[in-house]
Amino acid sequence: MKNVTFTTQRSLSRRAMLKGTGITLALPWLDAMSAAFAEDPKPPMRFIGILNYFSFHAPNLFPKEAGANYIATPYLEGLQPHRNEFTVISGLNHPEVRDGHSSDKSFFTGAPHPGSPSFKNTVSLDQLAADQLGRDTRYPSLNFSTSGAFSCSYTRSGVAIPPETSPARAFAKLFIDGTPAEVAEEVARVQEGRSILDRVAAEAKRLQKDVGAGDRDKLDQYFTSVRELEQRMVRSENFAKQPKPKPGVPIMKDPGSGEDTTRFGLMLEVARLAIQTDLTRIVTLYSVGTSKTPSKPGTSYAYHDLSHHGQDQGKLAQLAILERDLLLEWGRFIGRMKDARDGSSRLLDHTISVFGAGMGNASSHESTNLPILLSGGRFKHGQHLAHNPQDPPPLCNLWVQVLQQMGMEVAKFGTSNAESLTGLHV
């Protein structure tokens, strides 16, 4: 067994890691890194774009009132602890995108007619950002999906980037390395209730002694997050009890294909840790519901069936269970990004999160009045920006503002026009 090696200094490199057998554990931002990072004291901007395949039931999401004094709708009630950290945006659309589920291909690109046989996509928002902002991280971008080969990330040539669909593999990719045998050994340890943190425990304790009280709190919070994610995976059967895996066979078991919100939550937590440790600054996550019934109390239909509710009140009630849970997971993400520090400010302040859909009404496959939730990134929040759905601004106007907020000199993207969405800037 190799010894853990980590050398502490008066100042830590932004790329400092704890390393052990089969483990490479990146560290979150610490005050001890400030000296090494002094030449660029402004923290970098990050982006996580989340696309929900089956959209959200608009009456349960959009408030009737515009502005800061809106009354929370059923879907927003669970997000009220973070009310001042996000903005609801209604009335946007993509011009010439009226193609039902195919509209998702254009969500982060704005390319017209995605349902056409001759359709050719364009570069997605995340990949344009990754080209400029992803050069300084281990992964220029990460592209996750909860099911199948569905992707919402596209190259400059308009080619879909294959996503990682397994929370287990994503976790292993970020935190477990080495030979196949070493990876299998670490997975088996987690299956048995132990932690990857065990491999770096001694050096982690030594590091905690060498940093200030504030950094010790940050490390405790971070290590707790890693351990909680491991435990969530165990509970979801991501690391199900089974004989020790052998190299060459599947080493982890993911949630069942019908467990849409469980898989989404795990993927989102992996993404958060990747952002917090600066392994990447650009993430996309495609939440793709399935045609299998989840084992969630109160539901007896698959998410796909419920999305085609036809205004049936029973199905709408079940649909609300699934969609509220997705939004609660996003709220948990916001809360943890609020608590995490990034230099002298909050990580949330330097992370733009967008949660939306390519259809405004999944039941009728309408692609107007798209549901958009925006958080972080030093935008002005705590409000509902309501636009006229009869004269909708293009969603790409928002994408231009997102790119500009990330420090990019961009005047046009996709179908954007020269008009910015008002009310977003402090």
Per residue in 12-52, pLDDT tens? 776 778 877 667 787 887 877 765 544 556 789 999 999 99
Which of 175-179, 218-222, 347-351: highest mean pLDDT?
A: 347-351
Average pLDDT over residues 174-198: 76
> pLDDT over 70 for what percent of the chain?
88
Residue 33: the pLDDT is 74
- Domain residues of the chain, as ranges? 46-166+254-405
Superfamily name and number for 46-166+254-405:
Alkaline Phosphatase, subunit A (3.40.720.10)
Q: Which residue has the higher pLDDT, 247 or 122?
A: 122
Average pLDDT over residues 309-315: 88
Average pLDDT over residues 376-393: 96
Average pLDDT over residues 144-170: 91
Q: Which residue has the tokens 């973070």?
A: 82
* Gap between the Cα atoms of 185 and 244, Å rounded: 8
Average pLDDT over residues 251-270: 72
* Gap between the Cα atoms of 274 and 279, Å rounded: 5
Residue 183: the pLDDT is 73
pLDDT category of residue 389 using cuts at 50, 70 and 90: confident
Residue 216: the pLDDT is 86
Range list of H helices, 277-407:
303-307, 313-339, 395-405
Taking only the tens place, the pLDDT of each residue in 94-120 is 999 987 889 999 999 999 999 999 999
* Gap between the Cα atoms of 380 and 426, Å rounded: 5
Residue 78: the pLDDT is 97
Nearest alpha carbon to residue 333 among 358, 351, 345: 351
Mean pLDDT for the chain?
Answer: 85
The secondary structure element, H or E, covering residue 223 is helix 213-235
pLDDT category of residue 175 using cuts at 50, 70 and 90: confident
Where on the phi/psi map is residue 136: left (φ > 0), alpha (ψ -120 to 50), or beta? Answer: alpha
3-class secondary structure per residue, 132-184: HHCCCCCCCCEEEECCCCCCCCECCCCCECCCECCHHHHHHHHHECCCHHHHH
Nearest alpha carbon to residue 154 among 141, 166, 165: 141
Greatest CA separation for the chain:
66
Lowest mean pLDDT among 100-104, 329-333, 360-364: 360-364
Residue 254: the pLDDT is 57
